Chain A
Amino acid sequence: MHVPDGFLDAPTSVATGVVAATAVGIALGRARRELDDRTAPMAGLVAAFVFAVQMLNFPVAAGTSGHLLGGALAAVLVGPWTAVLCLSTVFIVQALLFADGGITALGTNITLMGLVTVLVGYLVFLAARAVLPKRLASVPLAAGLGALVSVPVAALGFVGLYAVGGTTDVDLGLVASAMLGVHTLIGIGEAVITFLAVGSLVAVRPDLVHGARPFLQRRELTILGPDDGLDGSGTLDEQGTGAEPSTSQEASA
């Protein structure tokens, strides 16, 4: 769904550029809470993985293809604010190095595919996770549902922008129904990929899946606590041992 230059007029492109820049600025601050020494490396890898899977267009209808957008996937794996940073990086690299998506359309592409998909995907994920049984197996399912909904909503987001700043006179109703139809199919592919990717990581290291944490901490505290010390994975935040950093720093200096 990479929007090329020329589809939207200058004021709309500037507006989406401001929205994208503001959101990335906020995300830079908020992502800090999601990132530590273990999750930061995962975030870079999730961005690289999303880039790779975005190259894999799958056929969805006669003569039409689609690829993963990755908003719900990244939000569930590394947290929504970090996901915004990861996806924005992907779209910037695609636009600058690969000429995929326009330069003036970069704000539009970050807004639609990096903000809308993350927001919608993560909210649907949270709602589904709250409704589904409270166990780890629900996490990939909820992520898939978030992915499924996120793609057609982003497609409608494009139609909304086109209604405001489209450069060609078109029948918006026809554009909306065509966009919704094809992107519902792409959303099914998005859901399958997201389910498989989240399911794989939940199976091997659920503690590395941001969206799985509420189910883990309770269990790890009561049952798995001793294992954490043995394998050194450090699932839970370690509380300070009581040493006073400020005084020890002065002593060492």
Chain B
Amino acid sequence: MSRRPSLRWVAAGVLLLALVLAGVVSYYASSSPDGLESVSSEQGFADSATTSSTSDSPLAGYGVSGVGDARLSGGLAGVAGVVVVLVLAGGLTWAVRRRPRPESAEDASATREPAGSR
């Protein structure tokens, strides 16, 4: 049985992959309308779409406003999105996770807030 990569290495690998996909590979993604956009055009309800109230966001449309180069603009927006999603989703899931039960007196006292020693 070969050794398994540690959680840290797996996490670093997934993060690197996400950053490369969003920051570099996304430039080569298809810019054709997606399934719903395409069907709404065919079936005549595309015009009912209204502009999003966040369309003046500096990252609207997966580009950084003010950055002219499309590759750089899209790449930076993708990297920013990955980081923001990681922080928000990671923070949320970290906050609601199960806490491990203290396993010994040392662990219990080491991880406790110093509230009891006032």
Contacts and interface: CB of A to CB of B under 8 A. Distances in A.
Interface of A: 1-7, 28, 31-33, 35-49, 51-53, 55-60, 63-67, 78, 82, 85-86, 89-90, 92-103, 155, 158, 166-168, 170-171, 174-175, 178-179, 182-183, 186, 201, 204-205, 208, 224, 227, 231-233, 238, 240-241, 243, 245, 248-249, 251-253
B93 A205 contact: no
A62 to B, nearest CB: 9
Contacts of A167: 45, 48
A178 B39 contact: yes
Contacts of A205: 4-5, 7, 10
A97 B61 CA distance: 9
Contacts of A224: 1
A175 B54 contact: no
By DSSP majority rule, is chain B's interface helix, strand, loop, or mixed?
helix
Given A42-B14, A45-B18, 8 more contacts: A2-B36, A6-B49, A51-B82, A55-B21, A93-B84, A98-B62, A102-B52, A208-B7
A90 to B, nearest CB: 6
Given A4-B49, A240-B101, A56 B25 contact: yes
Interface size class of B (residues with CB under 8 A): 35 or more
Contacts, number: 279
Contact of B7 (A6, A38, A100, A186): A38
A64 B33 contact: yes
Nearest to A1: B36
Contact of A97 (B39, B57, B91): B57
A99 B63 CA distance: 11
Contacts of B112: 249, 252
Contacts of B61: 98-100
A182 B39 contact: yes
B94 A51 contact: no
Given A55-B62, A241-B103, A248-B109, A41 B11 contact: yes
A40 B93 contact: yes
Interface string B1-33: 101111100110011011101100110011111
A233 B87 CA distance: 24
16 contacts: A4-B52, A5-B52, A42-B7, A48-B86, A49-B17, A52-B78, A55-B26, A56-B21, A89-B88, A97-B80, A100-B61, A170-B45, A231-B6, A232-B6, A243-B103, A243-B104
Per CB-CB distance, the 3 closest pairs between chain A and chain B, nearest first, are A44-B90, A47-B89, A253-B116
A178 B43 contact: yes
User: Which of A52, A82, A171, A175: most chain B Cβ within 10 A?
Assistant: A52
Contacts of A102: 49-50, 52
A233 B7 contact: yes
Nearest to B87: A44
A37 B11 CA distance: 13
Contacts of A41: 7, 11, 90, 94
Given A65-B30, A224-B1, A155 B35 contact: yes
